[in-house]
């Protein structure tokens, strides 16, 4: 690593002790930027790197709420407003017991480059809470969301910071959050949150966007080899929003998803995942993958091992960070996997990424491959600003165009820096230069 870049990384570790996921995300980006800095040294001048890795604002707050038994519960809320060079802060809210400030920093840092790649004029942020909505009643979720938004509302706005959903935050949660924001601010700022219901400013294709985009990116990568997803067998991890709509788009393009998963294990369905049943179990009943297996002849639930043990042509990790390690990567490669496109945020460990790149397979990193969600969130903001709503075909066409532009930017940037086919370098360098150029233009702020 370049000495100056190494110094920046050491400072990040010293200032953010224990935030291991954040360290990992910063290391991955900085490693990629060495050829960029060496070729264009102005990007390391005036403390630009030091400013880039330090959030502009970190907000931590108490979230008290009352459960159905009348007991007071207390959770912790976070919002990391990382970088606003390109536009208002933009990034999701995650409600999950694993959430801590290090997780939010890593997600917010990744969001800077992902958002830059979309070309939509949005900055990077992330937020959430260690609240677990699973198993809570609608009334409990509502009371928590109202308490959470009571504090968050003073920090966000359509031209300041626009949160969206993430793990644990779906349409129900966004609805409660928006209702409380409107109540507190006495303003109908439809553009203050994205992922809203269609009746109050939501965008068609937003629900599908992350999963669709991940598959479209895989299709574009395969296209560089004269190949496609037609006839491919695919492993999908997770069973939430991203996984469901990755399965849907795969089927539309002629691929066959044979796995889904959750914390209880993974499903193998050699006939191909039954999309209608999956949606019924996960979106309507809020059930588990075991419920899918109970109603799907031929499907089996595997409680141990890894979803990546299943022989497939393509892998789409759509669950959570660091879910795919070097052993999983070795298994995928041994079984003939030719492409990996990341639907979750940083789902592959550094050693897994090294294995994919050393093998020369197509590997689409999350900040490029899963940018469809935030891209369509920006399209939702655009519709809100114009008080209009596009039909599904229009929104999906715009999403497809953005994903193709992201893929092209990654390919062209990797070639510019002498590493054709390196999507990690391409995504990091393309996103970084877009942000860095504007930071330079804005001065030292």
pLDDT tens, 45-73? 999 999 999 999 999 999 999 999 999 99
pLDDT at 2: 85
The answer to whether residues 120 and 246 belong to one domain is no
The tokens 């403390």 sit on which residue? 47
Is 436 within a domain? no
346, 364, 382 — which closes off a domain?
364
| Count of helix runs (H) and strand runs (E) in the chain | 16, 13
Over residues 312-341, the pLDDT tens digits come to 999 999 999 999 999 999 999 999 999 999
Position 412 in a domain: no
**Do residue 169 and residue 227 come from a single domain?**
no
Distance CA 304, CA 311 (A): 16
Sheet holding 265-268, edge to edge: 259-262, 265-268, 300-302
In a domain, 444, yes or no: no
The answer as to whether 24 is a domain residue is: yes
Q: Percent of the chain scored above 70 by pLDDT?
A: 100
What is the count of structural domains for the chain? 2
Q: Is 90 annotated as a binding residue?
A: yes
For residue 406, is it within any domain?
no
Does residue 166 share a domain with residue 131? yes
Q: Is residue 17 part of a domain?
A: yes
The verdict on residue 52 lying in a domain is yes
In tens, the pLDDT along 153-193 reads 999 999 999 999 999 999 999 999 999 999 999 999 999 99
Does one domain contain both 178 and 214?
A: no
Note whether 245 and 354 are same-domain residues.
yes
Say if residue 282 carries a ligand binding annotation. Answer: no
Half-sphere exposure (CA, 13 Å, Cβ side) for 359?
Answer: 22
**Residue 374 belongs to a domain:** no
Verify that 183 and 218 share a domain, yes or no: no
Domain coverage including residue 16: 3-188
122 and 178 housed in the same domain: yes
Find out whether 58 is annotated in a ligand binding site: no
Nearest-angstrom CA–CA distance, 308 and 258: 11
Does residue 111 sit in the same domain as residue 152? Answer: yes
CA distance 242 to 236: 10
Q: What is the mean pLDDT of residues 234-259?
A: 97
Report whether 146 belongs to an annotated binding site. Answer: no
Q: 3-state DSSP call for residue 34? A: helix
How confident is the model at residue 48, as a pLDDT? 96
Angstrom distance (rounded) from CA 84 to CA 161: 9
Q: What is the structure's pLDDT at 7?
A: 95
Domain endpoint, select from 364, 380, 398: 364
Which of 335, 364, 393 is the last residue before a domain boundary? 364
- At residue 267, the 3 state secondary structure works out as strand
The verdict on 164 and 212 lying in the same domain is: no
**Reported pTM:** 0.93
Sole residue written with tokens 């849907």: 248
Q: Please indicate if the annotation marks 111 as binding a ligand.
A: yes
Q: Nearest-CA neighbor of 300 among 270, 331, 263?
A: 270
Same structural domain for residues 232 and 90? Answer: no
Instruction: Pick the closest to residue 309 from 337, 331, 288, 326 (CA basis).
Output: 331
367 assigned binding-site residue? no
- Which single residue is written with the structure tokens 């995942």? 273
Averaged pLDDT for residues 21-31: 96
Percent of the chain with pLDDT over 90: 98
Residue 237 assigned to a binding site = no
Q: Verify that 221 and 335 share a domain, yes or no.
A: yes
Banded pLDDT at 1 (limits 50, 70, 90): low
Q: Which are the catalytic amino acids?
A: 126
The pLDDT mean for the chain works out to 97
Q: Are residues 48 and 178 located together in one domain of the fold?
A: yes
CATH of the domain at 68: 3.40.50.10860
Strands 233-236 and 256-257: parallel
- Rounded mean pLDDT, 116-128: 97
Q: How far is CA 339 from CA 46, 120, 243, 310, 312, in A?
A: 39, 27, 17, 14, 10
Task: Estimate the crossing angle of helix 423-442 against helix 392-416, to 10 degrees.
Answer: 90
The CATH number of residue 221's host domain is: 3.40.50.720
Q: What is the DSSP letter of 77?
A: E
């Amino acid at each position: 690593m370049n000495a100056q870049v190494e110094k920046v990384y050491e400072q990040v570790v010293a200032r953010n002790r224990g935030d291991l996921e954040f360290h990992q995300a910063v290391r991955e980006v900085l490693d990629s930027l060495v050829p960029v800095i060496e070729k264009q040294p102005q990007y390391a001048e005036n403390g630009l790197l030091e400013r880039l890795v330090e959030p502009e604002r970190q907000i931590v707050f108490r979230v008290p709420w009352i459960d159905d038994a009348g007991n007071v519960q207390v959770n912790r809320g976070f919002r990391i407003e990382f970088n606003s060079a390109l536009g208002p802060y933009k990034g999701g809210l995650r409600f999950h017991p694993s959430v801590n400030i290090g997780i939010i920093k890593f997600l917010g840092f990744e969001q800077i480059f992902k958002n830059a790649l979309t070309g939509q004029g949005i900055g990077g942020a992330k937020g959430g809470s260690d609240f677990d909505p699973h198993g809570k009643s609608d009334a409990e979720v509502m009371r928590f969301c109202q308490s959470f938004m009571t504090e968050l509302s003073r920090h966000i706005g359509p031209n300041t910071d626009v949160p969206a959903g993430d793990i644990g935050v779906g349409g129900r949660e966004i609805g409660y959050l928006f209702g409380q924001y409107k109540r507190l601010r006495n303003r109908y700022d439809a553009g203050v949150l994205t992922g809203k219901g269609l009746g109050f400013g939501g965008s068609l294709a937003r629900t599908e966007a992350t999963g669709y985009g991940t598959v479209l990116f895989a299709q574009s990568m395969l296209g560089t080899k004269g190949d496609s997803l037609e006839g491919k067998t695919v492993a999908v991890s997770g069973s939430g929003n991203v996984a469901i709509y990755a399965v849907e788009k795969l089927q539309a393009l002629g691929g066959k998803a044979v796995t889904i998963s959750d914390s209880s294990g993974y499903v193998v369905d050699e006939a191909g995942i039954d999309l209608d049943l999956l949606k019924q179990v996960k979106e309507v009943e809020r059930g588990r993958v075991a419920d899918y297996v109970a109603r799907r002849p031929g499907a089996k639930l595997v409680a141990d091992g890894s979803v990546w043990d299943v022989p497939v042509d393509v892998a789409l990790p759509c669950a959570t960070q660091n879910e795919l390690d070097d052993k999983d990567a070795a298994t995928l490669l041994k079984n003939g996997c030719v492409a990996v496109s990341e639907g979750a945020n940083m789902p592959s460990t550094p050693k897994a990424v090294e294995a994919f790149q050393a093998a020369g397979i197509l590997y689409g990193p999350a900040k490029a491959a899963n940018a469809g969600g935030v891209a369509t969130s920006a399209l939702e903001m655009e519709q809100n600003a114009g008080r209009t709503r596009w039909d599904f075909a229009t929104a999906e066409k715009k999403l497809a165009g953005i994903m193709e532009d992201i893929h092209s930017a990654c390919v062209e940037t990797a070639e510019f820096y002498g590493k054709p086919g390196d999507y990690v370098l391409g995504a990091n360098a393309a996103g970084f230069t877009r942000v860095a150029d504007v930071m330079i233009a804005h001065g030292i702020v």
